[in-house]
Structure formats: C-alpha cells, structure tokens
Amino acid sequence: MNIDAIQNGIVIDHITAGRGMRIYELLGLDTLEASVAIIKNAVSHRTGAKKDMIKIDSDIAINFDVLGFVDPGVTVNIIRNGELVEKRRIDMPQRLTNVIRCKNPRCITSVERSIEHVFKLTDPQNKVYRCLYCETRAQ
C-alpha cells in the first residue's frame, strides 16, 4: 500500500492499533475539506507492533487533549514544505474540557446546557478521569 507524502500538514503516528477511528471522530476530521488518510494496523518500524496512523494534508489546529486522552504516547509530526519541522510526543492532560460528556443524569452539566464538561485526571496509572462537578468516572 502506498500513501503519498504530504507537503503541509500533520501526521499523527504511533496510535495504538484500533484507536485511530476514535481519534478521527473526536477531532472532527470528517468535516475537513482536506485529504485525510487513516492507516490501520500498519507495522511500526520502531516497535514491530501494529499501529494506526492519521495523515492530514492541511495545517489545522489539533486538540492535543483529545490525543492524550484517547492514546497517550502518540506522536504528532508537523510537516511544512515536505519536511518534518516539529515532532511532539503527547502525554495525558490533567484536565479535559468539552472532550467527553458526563453520563450522570443528575450532574449539573446534564441540567445546565451552558456549563462546560470538565474532567480531571484522578488516577494516571489507570487512566481514570472524573467529572469535576459530580466525580462520575469517564467512560
């Protein structure tokens, strides 16, 4: 399989196999006018394990909190004029704002529509986020 190199854009690499579509959905990449390639179950040259990858042929703003929530450890490569200009490894964010929604029907965010959905990282070892208002665990 051959996916062309991008000239200006972003490559999200080292996504755990199977998580690429979740990242695609949460970042809203389906609404872009630019070309987006999702590569699933590619073999990583670094680890030898399977991975997913997303190539975006446009220089857009990426919500790094989404990446850190779904799959901490992914790599984001910024490409300009066909050259790698920046490489970032993404960690888990301490707070998530409007990335996920609280599932508790009694939470204030379910009643008051104008309140932001804020989650805080309460257990980094087990990747547990809890609602800032009602302490419900994120799904």
- The pLDDT of residue 103 is 93
Cβ-in-10-Å burial (0-12, 13-18, 19+) of 67 comes to buried
- The pLDDT of residue 2 is 58
- The pLDDT of residue 3 is 64
- The pLDDT of residue 22 is 93
Strands of the chain (E only): list them. Answer: 9-16, 36-43, 50-56, 75-80, 83-89, 95-97, 118-123, 128-131
- The pLDDT of residue 1 is 54
Would you write out the chain's pLDDT as a tens digit for each of its 139 residues? Answer: 556 788 899 999 999 999 999 999 999 999 988 889 999 998 887 778 899 999 999 988 999 999 999 999 999 999 999 899 999 999 999 999 999 999 999 999 988 888 999 999 999 999 999 999 999 999 7
CA distance 37 to 53: 8
Domains belonging to the chain, first-starting first, are 9-89 (3.30.70.140), 95-131 (no CATH)
- The pLDDT of residue 46 is 74
